[in-house]
């Protein structure tokens, strides 16, 4: 085992042991700082000489099938790493900075993920979600910042659906973050001509019951998702928006008509992870959701000015509720308010 491989193993094992989701290498002129993303916080880990980092970067680029000689363009690659009895997919991304390249590694556990029951801070929000996924057609959207658990939630939903019944399920992902049994997973590869749009067209020819789109990024993908949901398919996807209501404005900016959305949308969930202490496992994170279900959406589309007074619970309301119930400390509550 060469020195770069040995160092890589130590860094990865430490990061996994700390339950880190990401590793950031930030190169300076003579040193490179390494940070870990743990429970949503970016925490300093250690400093290594930049000369050592260059050897480490070369090792990562070689093992993940990147172009070692290319330093002027961003690159992506994937490595499988085993620690103890668990396997992890490592998603690597380089970014040119000044005369060097920074490196970010996303750590994706491949063992069976959390169930839906383990994801939510408030059980009643889970009950709402379970009622949505009993529908045979329509559009369910999840939004939230990077690392908030959108894909984890989608995988958990698909797992719950497959346990109910044998559905023909197809996913379009960039990248595929975890292998799912009894699910047809399509890796988006724009260089090879496999875009979300072309993948959508091909998926519809496979008679799917459920289609999961990793992310609605542009107008054509949004329109395909809408058309599929209106033609008898259950479509699940994520979209970037600041909050649940902001999703509607985002969809409108992508060219979708509110009249079509009124027919297709089952619900919108905006996700935020908040840290809380557990007796058995210490600090963990669970999801709170801003929920727009059909009843709220219908009153919104009807332009009822009082649509959100009684039922719509914002993140501010939910954080106050978590603090009142003793799920989070006052310090955590104040930090989340900032």
pLDDT tens, position by position, 77-89: 989 999 888 889 8
- Averaged pLDDT of the chain: 87
Give the Cα-Cα-Cα angle 92, 98, 101 (nearest 5 degrees).
20
C-beta of residue 61 within 8 angstroms of C-beta of residue 75 = yes
C-beta of residue 105 within 8 angstroms of C-beta of residue 129 = no
Q: What is the pLDDT of residue 256?
A: 93
Q: What is the pLDDT of residue 67?
A: 93
- Count CA atoms within 13 Å of residue 47 on its CB side: 5
Question: Are β-strands 20-27 and 41-49 bridged in parallel, bridged antiparallel, or unpaired?
Answer: unpaired
Q: Residue 118: which pLDDT band, with cuts at 50, 70 and 90?
A: confident
Taken in order 58, 147, 187, 110, the sign of the CA dihedral is positive
pLDDT at 29 over 90: no
Q: Residue 204: which pLDDT band, with cuts at 50, 70 and 90?
A: confident
Q: Say yes or no: do domains 3-109 and 116-337 share a fold.
A: no
Task: Break the chain down into helix, strand, coil percent, rounded to 5.
Answer: 35, 30, 30
pLDDT at 309 over 60: no
CATH, domain 116-337, list 3.40.190.80, 3.30.420.40, 3.40.50.720, 3.40.50.300: 3.40.50.300
C-beta of residue 135 within 8 angstroms of C-beta of residue 266 = yes
pLDDT at 102 over 90: yes
pLDDT at 311 over 70: no
Q: Residue 281: which pLDDT band, with cuts at 50, 70 and 90?
A: low
Query: Hey, where are the domains in the chain?
Result: 3-109, 116-337
Mean pLDDT, range 250-275, rounded to an integer:
91
| CATH fold for the domain made of 3-109 | Beta-Lactamase (3.30.450)
pLDDT at 189 over 70: yes
Mean pLDDT, range 160-168, rounded to an integer:
85
- What is the rounded CA–CA span in Å between residue 267 and residue 260? 14
């Amino acid at each position: 085992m060469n020195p770069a491989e040995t160092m890589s193993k130590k860094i990865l094992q430490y990061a996994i042991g700390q339950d880190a989701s990401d590793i950031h290498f930030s190169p300076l002129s003579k040193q490179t700082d390494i940070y870990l993303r743990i429970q949503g916080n970016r925490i300093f880990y250690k400093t290594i000489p930049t000369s050592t980092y260059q050897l480490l970067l070369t090792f990562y680029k070689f093992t993940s099938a990147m172009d070692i000689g290319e330093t002027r363009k961003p690159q992506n690659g994937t490595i499988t790493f085993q620690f103890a009895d668990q396997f992890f997919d490592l998603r690597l991304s380089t970014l040119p900075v000044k005369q060097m390249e920074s490196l970010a590694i996303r750590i994706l556990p491949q063992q069976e993920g959390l169930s839906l029951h383990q994801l939510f801070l408030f059980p009643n929000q889970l009950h709402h979600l379970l009622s949505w996924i009993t529908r045979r057609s329509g559009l369910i959207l999840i939004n939230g910042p990077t690392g908030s658990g959108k894909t984890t939630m989608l995988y958990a939903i698909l797992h719950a659906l497959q346990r109910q019944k044998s559905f023909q399920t197809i996913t379009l992902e960039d990248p595929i973050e975890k292998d799912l049994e009894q699910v047809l997973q399509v890796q988006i590869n724009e260089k090879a001509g496999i875009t979300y749009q072309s993948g959508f067209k091909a998926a519809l020819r496979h008679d799917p019951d459920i289609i999961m789109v990793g992310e609605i990024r542009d107008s054509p993908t949004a329109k395909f998702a809408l058309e599929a949901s209106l033609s008898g398919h259950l479509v699940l996807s994520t979209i970037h928006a600041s909050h649940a209501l902001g999703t509607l404005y985002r969809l409108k900016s992508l060219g979708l008509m509110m009249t079509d959305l009124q027919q297709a949308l089952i619900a919108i969930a905006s996700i935020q992870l908040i840290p809380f202490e557990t007796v058995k496992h210490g600090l963990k994170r669970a999801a709170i959701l801003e929920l727009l279900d059909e009843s709220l959406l219908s009153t919104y589309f009807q332009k009822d000015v009082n649509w959100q007074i009684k039922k719509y619970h914002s993140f501010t309301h939910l954080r106050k509720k978590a603090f009142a119930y003793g799920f989070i400390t006052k310090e955590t509550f104040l930090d989340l308010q900032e």
